[in-house]
Amino acid sequence: MALPNSPITPIPNNEPDAIPSLWNTRYTEIDENFSNLDGRVTSNANEISAARGEESSLDARIDEIEADLSVVNAEAQQAVGTGVMFALDQAALAAQEAQLLRTHIQQEGEVSLDNRGIIKGCSLTKSATSARNVSISAGMAFFEGRPWIVPEEINAASVPSNTGSGNETVYAYLYYDATLDQVRVTVTPLGETVPDDGIPIYTITIPAGSTDATDQFLAAVTLTKTARTEPDFPRIMASPQTHAVSINTISDSDYHITFDVVSAKGEPVSRDDIRVFSRATNGFVMQVANAADAIKVRWRVSNLDN
């Protein structure tokens, strides 16, 4: 690195020899050079001191670094790699156990249970006056946790034609008509199922080629009653509503099941009203012992012994 004043300015040889001002300029330049050199020495000393750290000398610090580096040989590197692999294996095992805990040892889910059916009556018959209509007898149904009167209705619903080459199945179901404020019956179109708010009561089988012209008064159509019937509603359930729940297969069926009732329509439902009807290693069947409808239940399966 260059000095601030290099070289020192020469004294002119055409000036009087003893004039102080001729020397003062040179002394200033010399002082500046010494000051610059002192700064460089101080900077180097600080850098060496920092590099020395807590050691008594830079040589001792270098010896310490060499000793540390000598430890990092092939065996040490292999030991470090082995430790890292072991840690990764343990992490993978922990993740696997956590996944097992979530999917098998403890499993959870939520189901909705519709508790609907017939108390009495509500029989479906083929119309004797209209080509493809059905009539319903008076009766009572239950849904939303209470009984409902179903009035008799002649030619209440129409059964669709089947122009295809195979049998078709449709469904007769009860629904609440808000406009008339009464429960009525209707039939699903071909290829459709009963809506969520409907109460299925009959399965109707329509043979191939059944139309107004070929099958008047539904002579070849079969009406099969499938309604759930509870004659003592709401006190005793002759055929309680059940629901099958699938779980991830576990080793044994002696697992513990708990229920949490989230909501229901009609009346309060406690967890004691939800019963386990049967169980297997891949699922269980739950049963509702209550008159409420639209019951939403959370369930948990615990199998902590396995």
What is the residue type of 237?
Answer: M
Average pLDDT of the chain to the nearest whole number: 83
Same domain, 104 and 249: yes
Q: Residue 10: inside a domain, yes or no? A: no
Q: Residue 285: inside a domain, yes or no? A: yes
Whether a cis peptide bond, with omega within 30° of 0, leads into 240 is no
Q: Residue 55: inside a domain, yes or no? A: yes
- For 198-244, the pLDDT digits (tens) are 999 999 999 999 999 999 899 999 999 999 999 999 887 788 888 99
Whether a cis peptide bond, with omega within 30° of 0, leads into 234 is yes
Q: Residue 15: inside a domain, yes or no? A: no
**Residue-range definition of the domain harbouring residue 39:** 20-69
- Identify the three-state secondary structure at position 164: coil
- Going by pLDDT thresholds of 50, 70 and 90, the confidence category of residue 64 is confident
Same domain, 149 and 184: yes
Same domain, 126 and 198: yes
Same domain, 245 and 106: yes
- For 140-198, the pLDDT digits (tens) are 999 999 999 999 999 999 999 999 999 999 999 999 999 999 999 999 999 999 999 99
Same domain, 79 and 121: no
Residue 262 is part of a domain; what is its CATH number? 2.60.40
pLDDT for position 216: 87
Structural domains in the chain (count)? 3
Q: Which tokens sit at 142? A: 């239950």
Same domain, 185 and 196: yes
Is the torsion defined by CA of 49, 51, 55, 59 positive or negative? negative
DSSP bridge pairs for 275:
287
**Who contacts 109 (Cβ-Cβ below 8 Å, separation ≥6)?**
245, 247, 298, 299
Q: Residue 2: inside a domain, yes or no? A: no
Tell me the pTM: 0.63
Is the torsion defined by CA of 154, 159, 160, 161 positive or negative? negative
Nearest Cα neighbor of 287 from 229, 234, 243 is: 243
Q: How far apart are CA 42 and CA 46, in angstroms?
A: 6
Same domain, 197 and 259: no
Same domain, 63 and 99: no
